[in-house]
A and B are shown apart, each in its own frame.
Chain A
Amino acid sequence: MSNDISNNLLKQISIAFNDKTPLRISAGNSKTFYGNHVNAQAINTLEHKGITEYQPSELVVTVRSGTLLSELESELKANKQMLAFEPPQHSEETTIGGIVACGLSGPRRAACGSVRDFVLGTTIINGRAEKCRFGGQVMKNVAGYDAARLMVGAQGTLGVLLDISLKILPVNESEISLKINTELSHAIKNLQQWTQQGLPVTASCFFKNTLYLRLGSTHSAVKQSLNTINNNFDTEEIDEAFWLSIKNQTHDFFTNANLWRCSHQMATRFYGDTDKQLLEWNGALRWINSEKDLYATADKHNGHAQRYPLTNSDETTDIFQPLQPGVLKIHKRLKQAFDPENILNPGRLYADL
């Protein structure tokens, strides 16, 4: 399904710019929970859809932002390729534009990189209703400032995403998922050792004294890695569907009402009740159940925290780690540079932006 509504979107933004009417940008509405509530007139990109360019040997795909993630991924899969950052699919209506705008990556992130690492170019409409194309469709491009990657995680506050070019990767010839009963510190120590040894760990998760692992590479490399692990552990093979429950956050753990997403260096000391945590990314991503806010604690451990209730909220409190004053100042000026009338998703990312 292909459909180009960029002119229509441009018109809507142009009117909003002239009238100074704030807009709430949405597509499939699967990530309303991921950001502050924006009380404004709706503009929707769901109908701006379709893969506009895809040559598998280029390892690049260009898509319109309203393209369903599921549609894009199945097209890539048919060509034995993938979005290596393994984006979460929160609902059937999840779009690639929403993924890029929110900057969300899944279990494979620690091994392959995050969504911003794979963005090569974006075409946007900024807050002055100008259509701008940054970056491109090639692997390397240093012409001008990297405003293409700047859109990742900006949640639409700097521009409405129209088209996105992404680097893609071939799927592994072989992947296997397993689980191991072990305790936390042992699990993390081994993960560190395995990555240091170059074992092809493409995902890891630790929860309730169980380490879940996914290995991916060529057939013989996966077999050899499995042997290495089997030398020290009793492993049990599991269905790869387990990773869907982590990636899409449908695992029971994510129903916790007081969930925090804390991001750290892999070897950061643990804090909080480790029995009530779920870890990903070799220990770098920690889902923590906590009634009190974790901003200060995460900061003390050189990381950052964010609230993560998977429900829509009307709360006006910021959900993301507060920014340093100097950094916030630059954020505000950049917002001004892209959206001088403050009409694009005002307040969604931070109250002041």
Chain B
Amino acid sequence: MNDKKSIINKLSKLLPDGQLLYRLEDLKPYECDALSAYQAVPLAVAIPDNIEQLKSILSLCYENNIPVVARGAGTGLSGGALPHKDGVLLSLAKFNKIITIDSKNHTAVVQPGVRNLAISEAVKELGLYYAPDPSSQIACSIGGNVAENAGGVHCLKYGLTVHNIIKLKVLTMDGDELTIGCDALDSPGYDLLALLTGSEGMLAIITEITVKLLPIPAVAKVMLASFDDIAVAGQAVSDVIAQGIIPAGLELMDNAAIKAADDFVHAGYPHDAAAILLCEIDGSVEEVNDQLRLAEKILKQSGATKIQIAKDEEQRAQFWAGRKAAFPAVGRLSPDYYCMDGTIPRHQISNVLKRISELSAEYKQTVVNVFHAGDGNLHPLILFDANNDGELERTEELGGKILDFCVEVGGTITGEHGVGIEKINQMCGQFNSDEITQFHSIKIAFDEKQLLNPGKNIPTLQRCAEFGAMHVHHGNLPHPELERF
């Protein structure tokens, strides 16, 4: 058994001054990601700035069986980058260069620490952009986006991270440097690119990403539709899509979210509406005109009480500003909030919103809804005060019930924020023991010693048995050797 000191000693030989943190006061800022309910202080934080340093850190950890948790910008909402107390937190923040931009093939090669928005900014003058736009895009890293398969407001039309990257370079824990995917539109062999996307730092460290760039659409127009009943707004979402329109974005906000956002950034939202839909159409001038007219007609027929089309770019930006600032705006309403991420079939939106409001009444806790309605990706924000005894636990219980209901109506516990540590128990409800065992064996195919981000993403069967949500196959736990963490 290596003691802490000797590991830190060895690590410090691999990194220049300032790139290895091990004093408590230096470690503190890294003790959590954006899910601050979970905290742990790591053994050390390593901040390499080149691939050789990165390789040597991994190899040292591999030799000494030290857990490694990758961290991008730490904006994750499921505790994915929560440190391991006996492990190294590996920050990719210094891998922040855009390596090449290929204007002919519409691709860019970037390092994992590059901020999401920085890519679009860098290629803007070429008339291109990177489509996935999480609300955290000013801060979150593209490496973190790949690891979480991040989505955003424009996913409905342009897809998730997995649809917008073509190649990765990764390092495995046992020291292999792999190129995954290919510059072409397909690649030979298994689709490891899909497997690594959303793998939450469990399979390999992502060191380079080739992203796909899209031409900036000639026009984008946004429409703000007000409703006096949130269930009607929920149904309108399905109606628009049933008529053959794929909006670039289709977002729903309830009254509490409308007011909070509008008070915060003055987005021009109607405070008296029970719900609003923001519906954006983009494309060529003709296409946008045609579809906007059709969408307006459908929304009216579906019961919108008022429809405003942003009259210019400025008003469009203002309408979106409210949506993009909705989380921090809700943050002003309450000392803490808890963001859920269940995804459901669209036709269940009204049903699930009704259930959420029942649960909210039952738990006497306010739940604010602002979400990617077009994708059926809910983000109920449960307001609470962590300083009140037991309130976090109650909030987690309420959140868990919402997720269970999402699974019950044919959905999933997480659409884009990942499982991390937060939803590990709910995994037991969504997957059976064979499936969970299969996940563990995928992990072992990449990381035999299970050193990458241990304890996250996939629960042990033991945990599920204790949590009581899983039917254990034939009454015995298969592969007991897998339950190491």
Contact = CB atoms under 8 A, between A and B. Distances in A.
Interface of A: 55-60, 80, 103, 105, 109-110, 113-114, 116-117, 126, 128, 130-134, 136-147, 149-150, 152-154, 158, 169-171, 173, 192, 195-200, 217-221, 223-225, 263-267, 281, 284-285, 302-304, 306, 320-321, 323-324, 326-327, 329-331, 333-334, 336-338, 349-350
Bin chain B's interface residue count. 35 or more
Given A130-B434, A198-B284, A333-B445, A141 B412 contact: yes
B239 interface: yes
Contact of B287 (A145, A217, A349): A217
Contacts of A136: 410-412
Most buried by B among A114, A116, A224, A327: A327
A146 B197 contact: yes
A221 B149 contact: no
Given A59-B241, A140-B375, A153-B191, A330 B445 contact: yes
Contact of A138 (B159, B218, B287, B410): B410
Contacts of B287: 200, 217-218, 220-221
B430 interface: yes
A334 B185 contact: no
B197 A284 contact: no
Given A55-B345, A323-B189, A337-B444, 6 more contacts: A58-B346, A80-B244, A126-B438, A138-B345, A144-B419, A323-B188
Contacts of A330: 172, 178, 192, 445-446
B159, B191, B192, B238 — most chain A CB neighbours (10 Å) = B191
B149 A324 contact: no
A241 B11 CA distance: 64
A144 B78 CA distance: 13
A329 B173 CA distance: 14
Contact of B283 (A80, A196, A198): A198
A263 B439 contact: no
A75 to B, nearest CB: 16
A131 B415 contact: no
Nearest to B426: A143
B242 A139 contact: no
Given A143-B423, A221-B284, A263-B182, A132 B290 contact: no
Interface of B: 102, 104-107, 127, 148-149, 151, 155-156, 159-160, 162-163, 172, 176-180, 182-192, 194-195, 197-199, 202-203, 215, 217-218, 238-239, 241-242, 244-246, 283-287, 289-291, 343-347, 372, 375-377, 410-419, 423, 427, 430-432, 434-435, 438-439, 441-446, 457-458
A147 to B, nearest CB: 7
9 contacts: A55-B347, A140-B416, A143-B413, A149-B162, A223-B286, A267-B104, A303-B183, A304-B187, A323-B188
B93 to A, nearest CB: 23
Contacts of A110: 185
Contact of B457 (A105, A114, A144, A219): A144
A57 B244 contact: no
Contacts of B195: 145-147, 149-150
A103 B188 CA distance: 10
Contacts of A220: 286-287, 289-290
Nearest to A218: B290
Nearest to A144: B439
A329 B190 CA distance: 12
A55 B416 CA distance: 23
B442 A147 contact: yes
A142 B190 contact: no
B67 to A, nearest CB: 19
B415 A140 contact: yes
A215 to B, nearest CB: 11
Contact of B163 (A117, A285, A304, A338): A117
Contacts of B377: 139-140
Contacts of B178: 324, 326-327, 330
B438 A147 contact: yes
A173 B197 CA distance: 34
B155 A139 contact: yes
Question: Most chain-A Cβ atoms within 10 A of its Cβ — which of B188, B285, B291, B376?
Answer: B188
A301 B309 CA distance: 48
A198 B217 contact: yes
Contact of B184 (A131, A200, A263, A326): A263
A302 B105 CA distance: 13
B190 A109 contact: no
A116 B194 contact: yes
The residue in A196, A302, A336 that gathers the most chain B C-beta atoms within 10 A of its C-beta is: A196
